[in-house]
Amino acid sequence: MTRLNVVMLIMLLASSIYLVRVSYDARRLFAELDKAQSEERLLDIEFERLKTEKQSQATPSRVEKTAREKLAMRTANPAITQYVTYAKAAASTPTGGTR
Minimum distance, C-beta of residue 83 to other proteins, in the bound complex (Å): 6
Phi then psi dihedrals of residue 59, to 5 deg: -70, 150
Closest approach of other proteins to the CB of residue 9, in Å = 19
Contact 73, 67 (CB under 8 A): yes
Spatial separation of the C-alpha atoms in residues 76 and 25, rounded to whole Å:
67
Name which position in 15, 16, 59, 66 contacts other proteins (CB under 8 A). 59
CA dist 58 and 62 (Å) reads 6
SS3 at position 86: helix
Site string for other proteins, 24-43 (x = CB under 8 A): ---xx-xx--xx--------
Residues within the interface to other proteins (CB under 8 A): 27-28, 30-31, 34-35, 45-46, 48-49, 51-53, 55-56, 59-61, 64, 75-83, 95-98
